Amino acid sequence: MLKMSDISIRDFLPFFANVGLQVAFLVPTPTGYQKSIMDATMPLREMLRKNNIHDYDVQKQGPEYKVLVKTYLLQLDKMVETEASLYRPVTKQGDPRIWFYNLKQYCAPRNLLAILVNKGNLYVLNLSNKEIAESMNSGFIRDVIQQFMEDDNSIAKELLAKIREIHNRGFLPSITLGDPGVGDTLENALGISRNPSKLPDYKGIELKASRTSTYNKPKTNNRVNLFTQVPDWANSKGMDRVKLLDTYGYWSKQKDGSQRFDLNCTLRANVPNPQGLYLEVDLENDLLINYYTKDDVARRYVVQWSFILLKQRLLEKHKETFWVKASSKIENGQEYFRYDKIVHTKNPNASLFPQLIDEGIITVDYIMHRKENGTVRDHGFPFKIFPKGLDLLFPEPKTYDLM
């Protein structure tokens, strides 16, 4: 749907990254515009759910279960109050829908609309309107956005207070074995479930917990997971995850002595790993490409990612992040965590993402294997960053020492 927009969404991503506000984009199609229907896209549904406004997953089908949410259409000098209708029709498997009353007086088909959330209300911004777009930088709309930013800071203060209280409890027993325990235990203490979504964890703030030490050994150089993103299979010359594992995987011995066909490795730019896989940054075509070369084998193309998508994922996931550092100890075979330090970042410099990959500061992991039933399991292709790169990717971090 966004591809139908009469203006490029890329022109506005830096602005919303800089202000650090949650945003979802919609484009009314000509047909949907006439019928007063728009698809509620996944980013919009997640934003509504994360802000406790509406959860389409639990909504029943039919007009009697329609939900109305107070909404404002932002004009050059005022806000026009209206309502958003959130519903799932009886037909077409109940695909989530949304419509804003009086929208036809505000925009035209194929206009790019930005949807913002503040204090339980929705705000619609017509980015295709040149005057409105210019007012985002100076004028009434800029003042509104500035107020949203100030209100948004209250969420960070709320989260900081909660983690400070968790720190004051001392060492907490890990609820999960292994590396995931440090994050799972923190989220459990905060009363939130483990997040399989691509969007942030706590009311728009992403949580990333890691150990500062384990068993009295420093862990300061451990890479931190930024996000996961599968390759662009559709444009990867027939490659898919099954072929990837079949071509570059290997047999490995498991703890129980059995053999499993794995592909577990880290890819860095310009330096082949033991499997012969490495990354190359193609700035001219705005692509990240995985190549293979080993022994006397000529360089071979494997898969690719679009930097446009990778930058968008970074901005979605890390508009605002709490990087929480935990001390760890073992007692009677049980690991315990105490959350001692927070690095608070906002507005990542997405333009530096390709350069940080090229410098080897950001890497990609392949973590996949063949299950006993023959199917392939992967862990989402995580992009990770070394701690030394955080200050480069995230400007002006704030540090809170809870000790």
- Give the tens place of pLDDT for each residue, 152-191: 788 888 999 999 999 999 999 999 988 889 989 999 999 8
The CB density around residue 252, as the number of other CB atoms within 10 Å, is 13
The CB density around residue 308, as the number of other CB atoms within 10 Å, is 14
Q: Is 74 within 8 Å of 127 (Cβ atoms)?
A: no
Give the mean model confidence (pLDDT) for residues 248-271. 92
The pLDDT > 70 percentage for the chain reads 95
Q: 46 pLDDT band (50/70/90 cuts)?
A: confident
Residue that the structure tokens 């990837």 belong to: 244
Q: Which two tokens stand for residue 37?
A: 């229907």
Q: Hey, is 390 helix, strand or coil?
A: helix
Residues 6+ apart with CB under 8 A from 334: 173, 174
Q: Hey, is 207 helix, strand or coil?
A: strand
Pick the range with the lowest mean pLDDT from 135-139, 300-304, 388-392.
388-392
- Using the Cα atoms of residue 43, residue 47, residue 53 and residue 59 in order, give the sign of their dihedral: positive
Pairing of strands 67-74, 121-126: parallel
Q: What are phi and psi of 162, to 5 degrees?
A: -65, -40
Give the model's pLDDT for residue 215. Answer: 45
Give the model's pLDDT for residue 199. Answer: 53
Condensed to tens digits (0 to 9), the pLDDT of residues 70-105 reads 999 999 999 999 999 999 999 868 899 999 999 999
Distance from C-alpha of 310 to C-alpha of 318, rounded to nearest angstrom: 12
Question: Rounded to two decimals, what is the model's pTM?
Answer: 0.62
Distance from C-alpha of 262 to C-alpha of 251, rounded to nearest angstrom: 6
- Using the Cα atoms of residue 345, residue 348, residue 349 and residue 353 in order, give the sign of their dihedral: positive
Give the model's pLDDT for residue 315. Answer: 83
Q: Is 260 within 8 Å of 254 (Cβ atoms)?
A: yes
The CB density around residue 279, as the number of other CB atoms within 10 Å, is 23
Q: Which two tokens stand for residue 370?
A: 């063949």
Distance from C-alpha of 321 to C-alpha of 344, rounded to nearest angstrom: 6
Q: Hey, is 341 helix, strand or coil?
A: strand
Give the model's pLDDT for residue 18. Answer: 74
The CB density around residue 284, as the number of other CB atoms within 10 Å, is 6
